Amino acid sequence: MESGRKILPDSNPAKTNAMADPAAQRLTTLRNGLLRLHKHLLDLERAAYERDVARIQGPGHLLDLLLNDPWFAWLRELSQFVVLVDETLDLDEPATAADADRLIGEARRLISPGENADGFARRYREAMQRDAGAVLAHRDMMNVFAALGSKHGD
């Protein structure tokens, strides 16, 4: 994002390579699912912030809050993970099946709302307890994982 390019949920510079490479294809599917989940959680937190704290003045203000405000800190772990997937897809050497398996496994662990957990997992669980849309977004992500699991070993 430093170059000013806007990354949309279904676009990625590595997408053309992903079509021919099963590992990159799996990572692109993972990335797109995570971005949809992230968008839902961000929209949920934005609404809560505007309800409880102050109105967000625009995209630049939201970006500043995302990067610096403790209210949004819990989402940074998911944001950083999406960046890690993007960076893996953008490497000069194509991602391997082992890379895809590792990142999918890490994503599964990240997207596991834990009752006694802290950080992202705790706040993710709380989001699902207060918002039916978060539960549906979680279900959609579980469907992505199921699809990725069925492609394991491609």
Q: Is residue 73 part of a domain?
A: yes
What's the domain count of the chain? 1
Which residues in 53-91 are b (16+ Cβ under 10 Å) and which e?
A: eeebeeeeebeebbeeeeebebbeebbebbeebbebbee
Let me know if residue 79 belongs to a domain: yes
Q: Which DSSP letter does residue 96 get? A: P
- Separation between Cα atoms, residue 117 and residue 26, nearest integer Å: 28
pLDDT in tens, 68-121: 999 999 999 999 999 999 999 999 999 999 999 999 999 999 998 777 777 899
Burial bucket for residue 111 (CB in 10 Å: 0-12, 13-18, 19+) = buried
CA atoms 6, 9, 11, 13: torsion sign: positive
3-class SS of residue 86: helix
| Residue for token pair 């990240």 | 110
110 lies in some domain: yes
Q: Which domain holds residue 56?
A: 22-150
Alpha-carbon gap, residue 130 to 35, rounded angstroms: 21
Residue at 9 is within a domain: no
pLDDT value of residue 1: 43
In a domain, 14, yes or no: no
**Structural domain includes residue 11:** no
Which has the minimum average pLDDT: 51-60, 105-114, 135-144?
Answer: 105-114
Tell me if 53 is assigned to some domain: yes
Per-residue pLDDT reduced to its tens digit, 27-36:
999 999 999 9
Average pLDDT over residues 122-127: 92
Residue 141 lies in a domain: yes
